[in-house]
Amino acid sequence: MRAYNFNAGPSALPLEVLQIAQQELVNFQGTGMSVMELSHRSKEYDAVHEKAKTLLKQLLNISDEYEVLFLQGGASLQFTMIPMNLLSKNTVANYVLTGSWSEKALAEAKKIGHVHVSASSKENQYKHIPSINDLEISDNAAYLHVTSNNTIYGTQWSEYPQLNNVELIADMSSDILSHEINVEQFSMIYAGAQKNLGPSGVTVVILKKELLTNSTNELPTMLNYRTHADKNSLYNTPPTFAIYTLSLVLEWLANSGGVKGIERVNNEKASLLYSCIDYSNGFYKPHAKMDSRSKMNVTFTLPSEELTKKFLVEAKEKGFIGLSGHRSVGGCRASIYNAVPLEACETLAYFMNAFYKRNQL
């Protein structure tokens, strides 16, 4: 039996993907070996690599003006690589603070060069996304960095600023491919794979080719975007099994109606849980303000620590995994990424309703 997996990441993968990986595990397409055992320079692996890249480009409608890179080091290494490659002595890195991950991204940029906080909702416990009209962009801005979905606080951007002459960069680790976006609005998008894309170990970077000219040869080779772009992410050994699984996840998504199709299901899943919260007469309190609610991470608290504990214990008994909130904020969190089935959310909503009725004060 499969668990109802609401983990924040690594998180649920589509069952079909796991089954294909299982079938192919010891003999990948007649090679007599696993994908893990193939040379990364073989034609069989090359086909896997290209499939992942092509499917990602198709699903997000990415033009040839962008490079698609498969890197390692997680989204966290991008916090460092972005300012290393894109910030110069005379320019300023702008950040919008919407949670712990944007704070971490800012902290890394500070080690490299000049930074500016364009907006922050920290004073309000990161309950909302600042309005795009209130962003204060510095002079000589190299870029504006946003975190599209805040995994810990459960908030999500619903629209992005249109900027003139400032590159928009988004950390989409926890909502990439969950809803339609216009890639052209961004100069760079990056995401660790372990939520919507596949297993941990690979980080997807989508980067406007013209930005590559900023990367100087003085940069350490592995931290230079040009190294990876010039070698099609094969400068050194890539995480082959993670990229293979990514290709299967992308294929699954393409066969499930693409981004548009999954967006419809994601809306339905989020609406089931938020309705349950909203109709509980304040028993479940959402962390996020209504207009900033995330459709990927639903965060809420119960009336007391005791009830929270009871809720989590009973939930676990029923097979719901991963519902405790992040250790920094407490409460509860249901992460409902692309691969979490609608049925899991229906069952959770049913349980939440019943728990509320049994325990209301």
Q: What residues have CB less than 8 Å from 327, skipping those under 6 apart?
A: none
Report how many residues bind ligand PMP under the rule CB under 6 A.
11
Measured CA to CA, the distance from residue 145 to residue 106 in angstroms comes to 9
Among the listed residues 53, 157, 171, 295, the single catalytic one is 171
Figure out which of the listed residues 94, 174, 233, 335 binds ligand PMP, where binding follows CB under 6 A: 174
Q: Do 19 and 333 meet the contact criterion of CB atoms below 8 Å apart?
A: no
Span near ligand PMP by CB under 6 A; candidates 74-82, 211-219, 272-280, 347-355: 74-82
Span near ligand PMP by CB under 6 A; candidates 130-138, 169-177, 260-268, 278-286: 169-177
Measured CA to CA, the distance from residue 334 to residue 326 in angstroms comes to 11
- Between 122 and 209, whose beta carbon lies closer to ligand PMP? 122
State in angstroms the smallest separation of the CB of 104 from ligand PMP. 7
Measured CA to CA, the distance from residue 203 to residue 74 in angstroms comes to 5
Enter the tokens of residue 92: 């300023």
Kindly state whether residue 192 participates in binding ligand PMP, applying the rule CB under 6 A: yes
Enter the tokens of residue 85: 């490659």
Span near ligand PMP by CB under 6 A; candidates 16-24, 171-179, 181-189, 247-255: 171-179
Q: What residues have CB less than 8 Å from 361, skipping those under 6 apart?
A: 283, 303
Among the listed residues 195, 208, 269, 295, the single catalytic one is 195
- Between 155 and 215, whose beta carbon lies closer to ligand PMP? 155
Kindly state whether residue 98 participates in binding ligand PMP, applying the rule CB under 6 A: no
What radius of gyration, in Å, describes the C-alpha atoms of the chain? Answer: 21
Looking at residues 129 to 168 of the shown chain, list those that interact with ligand PMP (rule: CB under 6 A).
Answer: 147, 151
State in angstroms the smallest separation of the CB of 227 from ligand PMP. 20
State in angstroms the smallest separation of the CB of 79 from ligand PMP. 8
Measured CA to CA, the distance from residue 260 to residue 283 in angstroms comes to 33
Among the listed residues 53, 101, 157, 175, the single catalytic one is 101
State in angstroms the smallest separation of the CB of 233 from ligand PMP. 16
Measured CA to CA, the distance from residue 83 to residue 74 in angstroms comes to 16
Figure out which of the listed residues 156, 173, 280, 338 binds ligand PMP, where binding follows CB under 6 A: 173
- Output b/e per residue, 15-44; b: 16+ Cβ within 10 A: eebeebbeeeeeebeeeeebbeebeeeeee
Looking at residues 43 to 72 of the shown chain, list those that interact with ligand PMP (rule: CB under 6 A).
Answer: none
Within 13 Å and on the Cβ side, how many CA atoms surround 231?
Answer: 16
Among 96, 2, 13, 1, residue whose Cα is nearest residue 335: 13
Measured CA to CA, the distance from residue 235 to residue 176 in angstroms comes to 25
- Between 75 and 168, whose beta carbon lies closer to ligand PMP? 75
> Residue 344 forms beta bridges with which residues?
none
State in angstroms the smallest separation of the CB of 278 from ligand PMP. 25
Among 29, 71, 106, 93, residue whose Cα is nearest residue 238: 71
Q: Is 101 a catalytic residue?
A: yes
Figure out which of the listed residues 44, 72, 74, 234 binds ligand PMP, where binding follows CB under 6 A: 74
Residue ranges in contact with ligand PMP by CB under 6 A: 9, 74-76, 101, 147, 151, 171, 173-174, 192
Q: What amino acid positions are annotated as catalytic residues?
A: 101, 171, 195
